[in-house]
Structure 1
């Protein structure tokens, strides 16, 4: 007879996500995971696979929980340009917020730590960025159709610029002690939408 799990895999995955997000992949050992999750190494392997598999599952979970608010904001009916501005300003506010800035964005952290040498992680990062870029592009196309964005502006180029800006805000926000740095950068970039 098969044993039943004595832990909640969903809660364990969320706990692993939080640990990886705070410490990074390399700085998190299997011993750290065992201690933090409160479950045995064999249970971790049986449920999630090895440390790398668990990290990728945590990264997938992060995308599932953090991408929908952006989708919701940018796909609302009505005026599109204020939604674009609100998303960029929210990224800047999170990057400047003392409570969240040091953890940054799990996707951005993964890009910096694993992206150059981990194909599976890099694919997930690229998927997340493509998703945000597509949402931004669609919103900017709508803004242009609504007469909010000048006709001579390139919605695809602007979407890419805003994606790079938002990811950069997260990186700079992690290390900067001056919250005005990221807020001022965001506001300057938003002038390109006028």
Structure 2
């Protein structure tokens, strides 16, 4: 007779995501995971695989939770440019807030910590960025069609600029205790939208 799991895998994955997000990949040991999740090492391996596989599952969950929010924010009916501005300002506000400052963004953290030498992590970062860039581009194309964005502006290039800005805002917000740095850079970038 097969043993039943004595823990909720969904709750365990969420707990792992939070631990990795707070500590980073390298600073999180299997012993940390065992303690934080409250389940045995063998159960972690049987359910999620090794630490690396668990980390990738946590990154996938993180993206899965945030991507629908961005889609909702950037594809609302009506005026598109205010939605773009609101998303960019939300990112900046989160980056400068004490709560988010300590953790940053798990995708940005993964890009900095693992992507340069981990193809699986790099692919997840790239997928997240491609998705975000596509959402921004679509919203900016709509803004241009609505007359909110000047005809001479390139929506693709602007989407890429905003993506890079927001990733930089996440890094600077995590490392700096001066919210004006993030706020000023964000407002300067938004001024390029017209």
Residues 31-46 of structure 1 mapped to structure 2, 5 A cutoff? 31-46=31-46
1:72 positional shift: 0.4
Structure 1 residue 66: Cα displacement: 1.2
**What's the counterpart of residue 14 of structure 1?**
14
Residue 92 of structure 1 aligns to a residue in which SS?
helix
How far apart, in 2, do the equivalents of 1:160 and 1:141 lie?
Answer: 13
Structure 1 equivalent of residue 60 of structure 2: 60
Taking the aligned partners of 1:160 and 1:189, their CA distance within structure 2 comes to: 12
Mapped to 2, the partners of 1:158 and 1:42 lie a distance apart of 48
Distance, in Å, in 1 between the alignment partners of 2:64 and 2:2 is 31
- How far apart are residue 102 of structure 1 and its match? 1.4
SS across alignment from 2:77:
coil
Give a deviation string over 1:78-131, Cα, whole Å, max 9, x none. Answer: 000000000000000000001111100000000000010000000000000000
Partner of 2:100: 100
Segment drifting more, 53-62 vs 64-73: 64-73
CA distance in structure 2 between the partners assigned to 1:67 and 1:96 by the alignment: 21
- CA distance, structure 1, for counterparts of residue 34 and residue 102 of structure 2: 24
CA distance in 1, matches of 2:71, 2:165: 18
Instruction: Name the counterpart of 1:81.
Output: 81
Counterpart of 1:116 in structure 2 is 116
State the Cα RMSD in Å.
0.4
Matches within 5 A, 1:165-184: 165-184=165-184
Secondary structure of 2:99's partner? coil
Partner SS for 1:100: helix
